[in-house]
Every structure is written in C-alpha cells, then in structure tokens.
Amino acid sequence: MSISNRDEGQVFKVVLAERKHIVREALKRYLAPCKLIELVGDTGDGFELNNLIEKYHPNLVITGPDAPGKDPLEILKDVKKKDKGIKFLILSSTKREDIIIKAFEYGADGFVLKEDKPDELDSAIRNILEGKHYISPSIAGLVLKARTDAYREERPATKWDTLTRREREIFKLLAEGRKAKEIASTLYISPKTVEKHRSNLMKKLGLHSVSQLVNYAIEIGIMHSNHK
C-alpha cells in the first residue's frame, strides 16, 4: 500500500471499530505490516469509538455501520460537522441501499464490503488518505440506481418529459432549422408523419412557432444561443 502524496516520514493514525472480535483481530493483523499507518486504537463499542476519536484525532476511522452503544453513523455525522479532515471508511457486510446512502449523506469517504477481496480495502484506504472518495465496485451500481431513482421521484415532471423519443428527435432537428422533408429523409419517415409529430410536440410544449421552439431549446440547454 502506497500513499503517493504523503509527506516524507508521515504516518497516518487509524482507529478501528468492529463489533465482532475475531474480525477486528484479523483486520488488526492485516493492517499491522503497513508502515504508512499506525493503529492507535480499536474497539467494538460505539461509545468507546467516540472516545478514541476525541483522544487521538485520527486521520482515518474504519468502522462498520453498527456497533453496541452509540451508532457509528451518528458519530460519523457529528465528527464531520466539527472536522471534515477526519476520514471515515465504512466496512460492512450489508448491501442495503438506505444504509449505504445514509453513510455517504452523513459524510463517509468510502464504503467497502467485508466480502470484497483485500485489494479493495487497500484501494479504499489509499484513495481516502489521498483525499479521494471510494466505493466498492460491487455496490456502486446499486447506489447509482438508488440516487437516480430518488432524483426522478423528487424532480417535478416538465413538459419536455411528456414528449416521446421520436418527438424529441424531431424537436431537436426543428431547432437546428431542418425542414420537414429533410427531417423525413434523416429519420426515414414520411413528411406527413413529421408534420404530425411536429403538431403534437408543439401542442404538448405550448409552442406556436419555430422561433418559440428555438427559444425553448436554448432554455432547456439543448442548444446554445449562438445557434439561434
């Protein structure tokens, strides 16, 4: 494990919290050979984790999302409000989207699964100590999907959302100044079909002229004003 931008002689202080004693001991032995980090404290208790952070002010905290006593994610949230410089890596066996997303919303710098290969843990620690974020590839897709779904639910529907795929294609071509016959040739449909789609999309968008259509295209970012 190498930290590319570390200061000469710098050693990163690490606090480890893992409720299962056997797992915690295995992690301690795994981390011990790394000369770049110093494990200054470990615990299986949430309250003790909070005390260790206050005592040692570590560079990195490695913890699971659950532990007896104080909730580690609440600790994460509280610590980040006071000092964003303390990094948190969540090491967990859960793939629950709500917990993963909650961890990042509270300020986690990384999330790795216990089922991942050791290389993932190495990569996570290295990236986080270099100031980057890290998420296990095995759950990255889950998080992206969850955030995308949430965005779609929160974002109010617009008139543009009511257009069909074909209507959007024709809209863009009209905004570029293409004529019905040219659009028909491009999309391999008849000019009559183009006119029908044009009429429908104009009605859905509440537009009455090509100039209004172009202005709308600029407004929603489909084209820039210098194309007008």
Pairing, β 87-92 against β 12-17: unpaired
Domain boundary among 152, 183, 207: 152
> Do residues 101 and 207 both lie within one domain?
no
- Whether 132 is in a domain gets the answer yes
pLDDT tens column, 80-94: 999 999 999 999 988
The distance from CA 108 to its chain's CA centroid, rounded to whole angstroms, is 11
Closest by CA to 57, choosing from 38, 34, 30, 35, is: 38
Higher pLDDT, 158 or 77: 77
> Do residues 147 and 163 both lie within one domain?
no
CB atoms within 10 A of CB 80: 17
- Whether 123 is in a domain gets the answer yes
> Do residues 110 and 34 both lie within one domain?
yes
Domain boundary among 136, 152, 168: 152
pLDDT tens column, 119-166: 999 999 999 999 999 988 878 877 666 555 544 555 566 788 889 989
Position 183: which residue type?
I
Q: To the nearest whole percent, how much of the chain has pLDDT over 70?
A: 86
